[in-house]
A and B are shown apart, each in its own frame.
Chain A
Amino acid sequence: MPSLAGLFFWMNRKIENINKITITKPLKLDCGKTIKNFPLAYETYGKLNENKDNAILVFHALTGDQFVTGTNPVTNKEGWWVTAVGPGKAIDTDKYFVICANVIGGCMGSLGPKDTNPENNQPYGLDFPVITIKDMVKAQESLLEHLGIKKLLCATGGSMGGMQLLQFCATFPDKAFSAIPIACSSSHSAQNIALNELARQAIMADPVWDNGKYVSKNVQPKNGLAVARMVGHISYLSEKGMQEKFGRKLQEKADYEFSFNADFQVESYLRHQGYAFVERFDANSILYITRAMDYFDLSKQYKGGLVEAFKNQDTKFLVISFSSDWLYTTKENKDIVIALNASGADVSYSEIVTDKGHDSFLLNEPEFLKTLKGFIDSMYEKFKNEKRI
């Protein structure tokens, strides 16, 4: 087992070898600060065809990264959306060109709080500017420019990825022919802000965190970060799904130990998820990205409300929610549909019935994947025809 510092070094070295562009164009952030000459890491799958009409942009969620499918070269684990993206899958990389970028504020190669602040040659830590979903999306639009893609066949994303997508459609109304927001919301609810605050407080309560200055000491507030991840994992499952998966089953033992070790399987699961996470994610990135999610409120940006945000949309939408998702509920997803309808946009909506909670979009949910595939394939036919005309 390598030491954590060693692991960090090893991960950083690997991160040096991933695809990146340097965005030279200054990006004025919502907080008022400007960043320029910053790296944006990305990955692509499949081939962009001659007409450049088969590009699909995927926005990743809070703890995701650009490695959508195949093997993540940094963690050596499967890509986070391997169920949906790949050769012959719902988002078929034999047919489509899939792009995904690491969000700014993240820790997989794009500019984030663990990078060096050119002003003092120290890691940014809390000197990193507070970023928003809109800032993330603007940075990714520059990547499309770099790749020479004028209009995407489709843009999609679940959870925070869906929020980025809604922002992308509102800010760049003519950049996507179709869009699939999945299990998301147009503004973060009080419950979701509360859960994010719980995650942040767990990190900040860890003495190793040290006001975000741990990076220069090559350590990580792993206890706090693990707890933050556990909070997340509880919210991604449904009550029923959790009961079915774990119940009161004990972890490799016949009876209670009368201790505070992980007696129950559910405890063991959470601990495993928590401590596996600290090896691949930066604690300050969690603070920054959860903050961006909490600040997200599309109707606040558009004074006339959500309907105004979607005015003049030519994009064809498919909104998908999951019946047992209590983090981004069917109701919140339907509100997006209602606003799109009211703005006259072309919108479809499907609620997938499942017990698997918010996590469903990452799992092998046949009805969901069929719907996804049917929509993208039919949109591709339409897009090709439209371009021909």
Chain B
Amino acid sequence: MKNLKMKKEFKVIAELLPNNTRVLDVGCGDGSLMHFLKEEKNIEVRGLELNQENVQQCIHKGLPVIQGNAETELHQFPDQSFDYVVLSQTLQAFYNPEEVLKNLLRIGKAVVISIPNFGYWKVRVKLLLFGEMPVTKTLPNTWYNTPNLHMCTIKDLFNFCYEKNINIKQVVGVNEDKTSLIKKSNLEIKNLFSKLGIFLIG
């Protein structure tokens, strides 16, 4: 899973996070982002992860991790107990992403969310021209085994934040190694050409 593109995503996320802060990584996987943040930015990290093997890997690396489900177990973290909460490519996999997002904003003073962009042109072409659910590098699963229940586009998340009065501080589009800032003015085009959207909100 942790290929070069994933690393680019983590680099962008890491750039958004100031040194010497306190960060909760929700769905922290094997801890690669946490490790990077801790070593390179002196960030005090905590992780939440469901998978037993990933939890073990984090523990072996000396990274504090709590085994648990973000959907049901975010309540254990007190209000505003972290400077930042990071959620990488899992918002779409929750039963109730709105509730999860509310919780993230409660726990962190700010939140960094990355989403695989369902508005990416290849995804649109696949559905529009071939009439099939898209399978891409960013979205590698087929319709019957995908964990993604609530796919959305960068534009969707933009609109969601406006509707819910959530302050958008910065949005970065990622396509392979290229990154670009996304604003209201270039939203339509970036929504077409970004594979990932990374939002700093709150």
Contacts and interface: CB of A to CB of B under 8 A. Distances in A.
Interface string B134-155: 0000000000000000000000
Nearest to B60: A374
A348 B58 contact: yes
A346 to B, nearest CB: 5
A122 interface: no
B61 A346 contact: no
Interface stretch (B62-70, B94-102, B111-119, B160-168): B62-70
A374 B52 contact: no
Nearest to B48: A349
A347 interface: yes
Contacts of B64: 316, 346-348
Contacts of A351: 67
B90 interface: no
Given A337-B76, A341-B78, A350 B56 contact: yes
> Most chain-A CB neighbours within 10 Å: which of B59, B65, B68, B81?
B59
Q: How extensive is the interface on chain B, given as a class?
A: 10 to 19
Contacts of B59: 318, 348, 350, 371, 374-375, 378
A259 to B, nearest CB: 47
B14 interface: no
A378 B81 contact: no
A344 B44 CA distance: 11
A375 B62 CA distance: 7
Interface in A299-337: 316, 318, 334, 337
B105 interface: no
Contacts of B87: none
Contacts of B77: 341
A231 interface: no
Contacts of A349: 65-68
A146 interface: no
Contacts of B78: 341-342
B76 A353 contact: no
A341 B59 CA distance: 17
B43 interface: no
> Most chain-B CB neighbours within 10 Å: which of A337, A346, A349, A370?
A349
Given A344-B81, A375-B59, A382-B62, 11 more contacts: A334-B76, A337-B66, A341-B76, A346-B46, A347-B66, A351-B67, A353-B52, A367-B52, A374-B60, A375-B60, A379-B62
6 contacts: A342-B78, A347-B64, A348-B59, A353-B52, A367-B56, A378-B61
